[in-house]
Amino acid sequence: MSRPTNRRQDNHKIDWHLPSISSSASAHHMSRELFVLTYGALVAQLCKDYEKDEDVNKYLDRMGYDIGIRLVEDFLARSAVRKCRSYSETVDVIAQVAFKMYLGITPSVSCSNTTENEFFLMLDKNPLVDFVEELPAGRCSLCYCNLLCGVIRGALEMVHLVAEVTFVQDRLKGDDVTEIGITFLKKLEDKKHKRKK
């Protein structure tokens, strides 16, 4: 059977309108709150799909990594930061600019060793757990916010820095503070294509 040629195809256009908001700060707050709620639903679904906490943690890290490798372009365009000259400068930019820009918080930074390649971000407030009081029952190994580690790792890799990023302490696990550890492993060489003469 063939379609009649004289029949016009209907193109339905859906016009979505967000509620009017008086300031951009309110819009940012609303979108952050929506992200937090959506993230909670994602973690809950992953806990149903995977029996082991390690599998959920790996999935969240991989998902964050994919976000990080794409988010770095937006960050560099919007922040206008210059190239960092040291690991400590890089971590300061992550804490003072990136976290502030995307999550509305500014973690404090500390360095733990003399080689200055290991740093800690202390989060006084973690917006991803605004609506979470505790980890689900039987999920004591779950790193609920492991997405953040993946985002940081992916973004760093895109600026040629290989790092290990993990949660060191987590308030959801009864710790006094939420702390993310960043250990820089190496700098990747920027491969520039040279013309052959």
The 8-class DSSP code of residue 169 comes to E
- Please name which of 63, 33, 37 lies closest in space to residue 50, comparing C-alpha atoms: 63
- Quote the CA–CA distance of 152 and 184 in Å, as a whole number: 11
Q: 3-state SS of 41-102? A: HHHHHHHHHCCCHHHHHHHHHHHHHHHHHHHHHHHHHHHCCCCCCCHHHHHHHHHHHHHHHH
Mean pLDDT, rounded, for 27-33: 63
> Picking from 36-40, 89-93, 148-152, 183-187, which range would have the lowest pLDDT averaged per residue?
36-40
Beta strand 118-123 with 108-111 is antiparallel
Instruction: Please say if the pLDDT value at position 45 is more than 70.
Output: yes
Q: How confident is the model at residue 79 (pLDDT cuts 50, 70, 90)?
A: very high
End-to-end CA distance of the chain: 61
> Picking from 52-61, 125-134, 183-192, which range would have the lowest pLDDT averaged per residue?
183-192
pLDDT at position 5: 52
Say if pTM beats, i.e. exceeds, 0.95: no
